[in-house]
Chain A
Amino acid sequence: MLRPDRRALLAGLGAVLAAPRLARAATVRDGAGREVPIPGKVERIFPAGPPAAIQIYTLAPDLLLGWPRANRPEEREFLLPGVGDRPEIGRITGRGNSANLEAVLQLKPDLIIDSGSTGRTYVELAERVQSQTGIPYALLDGRFAQIPASYRILGQLTGRSERAETLARWCEETMATISGRIAAIPTEQRPSVYYARGPRGLETGLGGSINVETLSFLGARNVAAEQPGSGLAQVSLEQVLSWNPDVIVTIDLAFAESVRSDPNWAGVRAVREGRVHLSPKLPFGWVDFPPSVNRMIGLWWLAKLLYPAQFPEEIRPLARNFHILFYQVTPSEAQLDRVLAGRG
């Protein structure tokens, strides 16, 4: 069938014709400072990447069209039935553009949301896609400090300002509580932390990397922070031995399991003192990826590990409440065990 789908064509045409009208409608300033028209009705939102999908899910799961990557079964059980299993629809931003704009139009979104970097590349991509498709395209800043503002922008765009305010307040209060307690801890009493990725544990996040934003927010002394750069890098085990970190945080199960018995790592203080911690990652990672609101509970988890005296709260009820409020699913005790064990 080579004949174009008439409905899709008309929808696309309609969207293009509607664009000038939208531009006159009310607007909201997005995370990059762009004026984005507020659509008349929002029933279907296309997330441009995983961080956006998670943030939209937490605010308005019913509006989420699908996921950039399909969720695995062990992730789905922590998400609302009928939403967590929505289909894979590809992504617009990120390192590979796997969504075809025609396929995006076919899904008839009322709004496209991207969360993460608000740099020039992404601003221009948003402008281009918005003018090509006629669908309002808003950028949200994914960094911790901007997450409450991002919720409020998303709330205005979707007409869900009330819930957006609740979530934004929760994030603000959490961050204020945690930063307040940490501010009172002198720098020299803060542990040095090595962030280990990869099965050998020899990939780490440099100072400006979004991967270690959780660490830097908590005022931890990231041993690799003095290295210029904002991405991941490889290091040698010799270098880790000479850094001799107090704490190792990892997202890699294979590394976490092998490091405790590996004689080559036995000399590292964190290993000797049993301070190697595997980050929970269900349904989404707690400390690293995707860099979205899923890391909010990771702030509590990591703060407790780094500064046990200042953070006496139990992590289990905090995690349960976080799941109930943000993911709107109450996890069972067995499920919480699995989350906290870092598997999945």
Chain B
Amino acid sequence: MASPSLRGNLIALGLLGLAVIAAFALGRFPVSPGDILRSIWSWLTGTPSGLSQQIETVIWNIRGPRVLAAILCGAALAVAGAAFQGLFRNPLVSPDILGASSGAALGAVIGIYFSLGLLAIQLAAFAGGLVAVAAVYAVGSTIRRGDPVLVLVLTGVVVGSLLGAGIGLIKYWADPYNQLPAITFWLLGSLAGTARPDLVPLLGPVLIGTGVLLALRWRMNVMSLPEEEARALGLATGPLRIAIVAAATLVTAASVAAAGIIGWVGLVVPHLARFLVGPDFGRLLPTAAILGGGYLLAIDTLARTAAPVETPLGILTAVVGTPFFIWLLASARGGWS
């Protein structure tokens, strides 16, 4: 008799596997599944594959990095979303609640405005996300009135809208022929240009942040209790909250820096995971990571195959996510927690 959590994880892994197969098999450049297997075989055995250089390039340098980036970003956003939803005891929270996405967006937009290089733009976005959340946390913790969690969320919302105004200002200043389209594309989210060098600044933060969150996952159950109860259970809520916020921010900022603004994944996927394995964080986080990776990979495969020109990821996740979320709300058994 399989436990519900094992069954849920098997479903999630199955979906991820299907998404990976589809992602490698589909694309604008025709590569047959046999070519992919032959190329992987030659890589494993070190024998020449006999494939053209172009096909090898597509598999290893274009499609491969992009598949990996989509999985990493999706997993990161879903884990961060689940962590924030638990921390703030609110099912409507998504990873950008403390300004990580808006901060990263402002960083990237400033980078584009000053015509920085690709890596510099990515780093500016990453730094922007971290600085924004640090500022929110610093401001929020100086206010000593009311529920600290509520104060933090409200500070995040307010700072987020200020950052949004900053983005608007740069768009207003930007050169409408060159920079404005680049900013627009970036804000809509895309993995179109992903190459191998982009994976390094994504992989490190995502692995570290997800690792920290996974290590803390059992304690997060206690965090989703009201503050007094958690303290009564002997938990140092302050340091734990900082650790969760820092780890979730790290992964959010890294994924936004790599892929631009992709909404919905961090909001919807945790609900789907909860639907599969229940609200216990110990089981929820790994499932959310697997589902998030598979979900964004499927969306990205659609984005790059539906038409010769790319469909922005942020638009697809919203179009797919909205009806799905409504269906989930209507059919969910029990509450969210």
Tell me if A241 is interfacial: C-beta within 8 Å of chain B: yes
B190-214 interface mask toward A, CB cutoff 8 Å, 1 = contact, 0 = none?
A: 1011010000000000000000000
A197-232 interface mask toward B, CB cutoff 8 Å, 1 = contact, 0 = none?
A: 111101110100000000000000000101101011
> A94 CA to B180 CA in the complex, in Å?
12
Please, which residues of chain A bring their CB within 8 A of the CB of B309? 204, 206, 224, 227, 229, 233-235, 239
> A234 CA to B304 CA in the complex, in Å?
10
Which B residue sits closest to A290, measured CB to CB? B177
Q: Chain B: how many interface residues by the 8 Å CB criterion?
A: 35
Interface residues on A, range: 35 or more
B6-33 interface mask toward A, CB cutoff 8 Å, 1 = contact, 0 = none?
A: 0000000000000000000001111000
Tell me if A114 is interfacial: C-beta within 8 Å of chain B: no
Please, which residues of chain B bring their CB within 8 A of the CB of A241? 29, 54, 57-58, 62
B244-267 interface mask toward A, CB cutoff 8 Å, 1 = contact, 0 = none?
A: 000000000000000000000000
- The residue that B308 contacts in the complex, of A50, A227, A232, A264, with Cβ under 8 A, is A227
Tell me if B178 is interfacial: C-beta within 8 Å of chain A: yes
Please, which residues of chain B bring their CB within 8 A of the CB of A199? 117-118
> A94 CA to B173 CA in the complex, in Å?
12
Tell me if A106 is interfacial: C-beta within 8 Å of chain B: no
CB distance from B330 to the nearest CB of A (A): 35
CB distance from A142 to the nearest CB of B (A): 13
Judge whether B193 and A200 touch: CB under 8 Å: yes
With A227-B309, A233-B309, A241-B54 as contacts: A254 and B185 at CB distance below 8 Å = no
CB distance from A178 to the nearest CB of B (A): 24
Chain A residues close to B by CB (< 8 Å)? 50, 69, 94-96, 98, 197-200, 202-204, 206, 224, 226-227, 229, 231-239, 241-243, 251, 254, 263-264, 266-267, 288-290
The 9 closest A-B pairs by CB, nearest first: A289-B177, A233-B309, A267-B54, A239-B28, A200-B193, A238-B29, A234-B310, A242-B29, A238-B28
30 pairs across A/B with beta carbons < 8 Å? A95-B176, A95-B180, A96-B176, A98-B172, A197-B181, A198-B182, A199-B118, A202-B193, A203-B181, A203-B185, A224-B309, A227-B307, A227-B309, A229-B309, A233-B310, A234-B309, A234-B312, A235-B309, A236-B28, A236-B192, A236-B304, A238-B27, A238-B28, A238-B62, A239-B309, A241-B54, A243-B308, A264-B61, A264-B195, A290-B177
